[in-house]
Amino acid sequence: MKKTSTQTSSICIIGNNAKAAAGAMALTHFGLSVTFYALSKSANEHIKRYQFDKTLCNQWQKSLDEGSLSYQVLDNFLLTQPSFDIYWVFLDQLTDCLQEEVLKYIEPQTCDVCLSGIVQIGRIESISKRLNTENVFYIPFVFLNEASVFLATIKPRLLLIGEKAENTAMKNLVCKTFMDSTSNFHLHTLKTIEFTRSCMMNLMASKLSLINELARLADHCSVDMLEVETLLKQDDRLGVGFLKAGWGYGGSTLPKETKILKKHLLGLNLSANIVDEVEYINSDQKELIFRKLWQYFDSHVANKSVMIWGAGYKEGTGRTKGSAIHAVLPLLWGHNAITTIYDPLAKNELSEEYNSDRRLNFANSPYENLEHIDAIIIINWSEEYRPDISVINKSQTPIFDAKNLLSKEEIQQLEGHYTGIGRGIG
Amino acid sequence: MPHWIETMNDPTLTPQWQKLINHSNTIPDLVTLFKNNDKRTEDFLIDFESVCFDYSKQLIDRATKKLLIEFAEQMGLKDAIDKLVSGYKVNTTENRPALHTALRLPKGASLVVDDIDITKQVHQSLDNMGVIVERLTSGLWRGYSGKAIKDIVNIGVGGSDLGPLMTCMALSEWTGEAQIIQKGLVYNSIEAHFVSNMDGTQLDKLLFTLNPETTVFIISSKSFTTSDTLSNAKTALAWLSNSHNDEKSIKRNHFIGISANTKKMDAWGIHKANQLTLWDWVGGRFSMWSSIGLSVALKLGMANFRELLAGAHLMDEHFIHTPFADNIPVMMGLLSVWNSSFLGINAQAVLPYDGRLKYFPNYLTQLEMESNGKSVNLSGQKVAFDTCPILWGEVGSNAQHAFYQLLHQGTQNVACDFIAFINRYDENRQDIDQQLLLQHKLSLANCLAQSRVLAFGNVALGSQEPCSTTSTTHKNYRGNQPSSTILIDKLSPKTLGMVLAMYEHKVYVMSVMWGINPFDQWGVEVGKVMASQLNDAIHQHTLDYDDSTNALLKRICNL
């Protein structure tokens, strides 16, 4: 529930990613005012990047209209050096140089400093030591799930806060606001929270990659991983998330977590075999669906028309960073296949990413021209409705489901070929 | 018989031949030669680009050099070089040119032979190679299961094996790091393996380490009839078929053929798009510059392969245009002829002081001995002098603990080629490279030390006499073993290309001086024919041979 606040501290947020925008919007949602510094030229231009997250965009517009959000270009911060009671700095997607300039400015002040971001374990503690203030807090975004980043932020499932000095978070307006919004919060030292964040994310990545490795066996054993997933979820020792086989994980959080953990381990001459293998499986998993298509057509992929459903790295997003689309598209193009993509959310980002490559075609409907399509690859599905099997059956187009989107019942209704990731068929 | 052969004199009939024989009896030992002329490197050292050829420790003086150059002129060497590079049919027994120099001509250069634009053909072939290299290294080329290729196995023998193997090993540091070549496609280096043995030993061992889904075999055979190669290819096919029972798919996705015989490639089942061709005018041991070098290009990347060609072309230009006295390959060839035919030194050791050149002596063994291991001249007459010396070698520091004893204190006269690189390892790095740098310098010191002791024996160690007559005779070092030292700034695709072309041309110079054809190998062919007969004998249990062969056949066939 939204709260009203009689704000006592001025809040400045510095960050250039969705998490920073979501953090700011959560605060305005709770009735606080914030000044937001990012790299985009204007507030409108900045929020365009997250247009797929409708609740975030709505809150952004509302905050601008109400005056609780003031958007500034980061250059202005460095030029004018404004003074705030609380600085919340999102380190991700700020260059080392920018981070350094911002921290150098904050360093001598007696303000409160909140930090967020995925950095090597120990980096947050090291930053806190150089800051004059004792009121330094680390708020990792460990609570995100498949839903909107904004919705996840206003009601965190699990809130971890690292403190430089014990029992100080409750006195910080930002920390207190989030602690008031969940009963599941935990305070600890900065380094413990940093380490816990890394453990959580790498466990998720490892778990998912192990599931994906097992999914390859499932194909040979005529076992459906969706059914296995349902059973695995009954075992509360395993947890219910990250059990779904598919093309792996994308986005920026998990890949960055595994990458920096590996670098950290190797830097200390420690073994990084498991993380290494997790990265390998996840990378290999992204092209697995292409290989299934390759086998289906007995390596004759040239001139085949392939429809791709979805491009985002997760449902409901237009962000494609780390998505399997970036593994599949170049392979299809390299083998002279003709591709059509259906993903209204990701259309702009893909056009920008591939510089409007002439081979990049978009469809307005997932069923457009299906009678002339040789295969459908499913990377993601952000529609509110299920795919219409009866429409697909008209053309009997073979389906290569990298997301394991279709249920067993839907697969049984299909008249054409189906193959997924560890579905025991195809 | 082509007209130019008729004009080629029997070398023994030239005035210089007899003069050289007479002169060889007057040559003192190396200690004396250095005493008589303490600035020998002014006369007997050539610098070209980053290659320094020091032949001052050869058993020659100024008169020798003059006589050898006159001898070369009398044998029409200049004309013979022109004929070689212009596409004349210098391979007389097979009536075809030997145009390996054309394989490294830069784009835009012109060479028309029999109305065919050779340069255009060569560059078309290089472009075809480039396409295959990019498809494999970018991960676009897929095996039957759709997985990207990680290993290639070059199946070939002789020239289809030794050159590519040696180059891949020598230049393994030039393997490109993984880099993004276009969105989603990453340039990855591919592991190259080489299989040549007929008995299957190499293949059997290798296949255990490879994944059939991610392995491509390159069948390299100019004729595509070489039994060694085809028997290995057949085993590879069986291995792949064991994993995926669809021969058509296997051949389309896992085999590349390189040959001058497209019909044979078709018949074997090499997919048209996977065929790379070469031409009759490319001799096997001179073929690494052609599509036979595909494994090299895959291992090093196409850009480095082109650098290799550029280096070789640089040496070609030097060979064609430089006066004999300053021409490295010419002087190398003349010295080899001098040693073999006039000084009676019939052994040649090749001693690289660099582990990266481990396979270089093997490569040279074929290049020199298969080319010039001949006893009949271009007119079909038996020659009356020694031709190609027996050549062998090893990485210098290993050889020191193997056969240097014979070089220092044995009874055989051996000419040596020392090869070393001045620079290696990064001096600015603070880690283990500093220690490696010291090892490199130690290796250079050993190279110089060995050539000194071989040349000057006891005198190099401080004695006044070349060979002591005191009681410590077992500690005598006789010296007077001639050597050349090839010192190169550093090893790179370009400098290796230069060195290989340098030796190729040396071989040609020797052949011209002896009046023999270096481009055929009938001695190899005879073995193939006899092996075919005996293979039948083993299967059919026939005993129609000499007593020794029959006795051995009986045991093999358990008769």
ipTM of the complex: 0.83
Which homologous superfamily is A11-183 in?
NAD(P)-binding Rossmann-like Domain (3.40.50.720)
Tokens of A401: 């489901």
Q: Do A354 and B183 touch (CB under 8 A)?
A: yes
Tell me the CATH class for A201-419.
Answer: alpha beta
Say what the pLDDT of residue B3 is.
Answer: 44
B512-534 pLDDT, tens digit each: 999 999 999 988 888 888 888 99
Q: Do B146 and A292 touch (CB under 8 A)?
A: yes
| 3-state secondary structure labels for all residues of chain A | CCCCCCCCCCEEEECCCHHHHHHHHHHHHCCCCEEEEECCCCHHHHHHCCCCCHHHHHHHHHHHHHCCEEEEEHHHHHHHCCCCCEEEEECCCCCHHHHHHHHHHHCCCCCEEEEECCCCCCHHHHHHHHCCCCCEEECCCCCCCCCCHHHHHHCCCCEEEEECCCCCHHHCHHHHHHHHCCCCEEEEEHHHHHHHHHHHHHHHHHHHHHHHHHHHHHHHHCCCHHHHHHHHCCCCCCCCCCCCCCCCCCCCHHHHHHHHHHHHHHHCCCCCHHHHHHHHHHHHHHHHHHHHHHHHCCCCCCCCEEEEECCCCCCCCCCCCCCCHHHHHHHHHHCCCEEEEECCCCHHHHHHHCCCCCCCCECCCCCCCHHHCCEEEECCCCCCCCCCHHHHHHHCCCEEECCCCCCHHHHHHCCCCEECCCCCCC
In the residue annotation, B78 being an active-site residue is answered as no
Give the nearest chain A residue to B254 (CA atoms): A299
Whether residue B249 lies within 8 A of chain A, CB to CB, comes out as: yes
Catalytic residue, candidates B213, B307, B368, B370: B370
Whether residue A327 lies within 8 A of chain B, CB to CB, comes out as: yes
**Shortest Cα distance from A368 to chain B (angstroms)?**
26
In the residue annotation, B401 being an active-site residue is answered as yes
B226-269 pLDDT, tens digit each: 888 999 999 999 999 999 999 999 999 999 999 999 999 999 99
Catalytic residue, candidates B321, B382, B401, B474: B401
In the residue annotation, B370 being an active-site residue is answered as yes
Q: Is B220 helix (H, G, I), strand (E, B) or coil?
A: strand
Number of A/B CB contacts below 8 angstroms equals 39
A379-391 pLDDT, tens digit each: 999 888 999 999 9
CATH fold label, B105-303:
Rossmann fold (3.40.50)
Asked whether residue A1 carries a pLDDT value surpassing 50, the answer given is no
Q: Does residue B293 or residue A147 have the better pLDDT? A: B293
Q: Of the candidates B135, B144, B185, which has its C-beta nearest A330's C-beta? A: B185
* CATH 3.40.50.720 domain residues, chain A: 11-183, 201-419
Q: For chain B, which residues make up each domain, given as ranges?
A: 3-97+322-514, 105-303, 522-556
Q: Do B145 and A295 touch (CB under 8 A)?
A: yes
Say what the pLDDT of residue B182 is.
Answer: 60
Q: Which of A333, A336, A377 to mutate to test the interface with B (most CBs of B within 10 A)?
A: A333
Mean pLDDT, rounded, of chain B? 92
B171-223 pLDDT, tens digit each: 998 886 555 556 666 667 789 999 999 898 999 999 999 999 999 999 999 98
Q: Does domain B3-97+322-514 have CATH number 3.40.50.10490?
A: yes
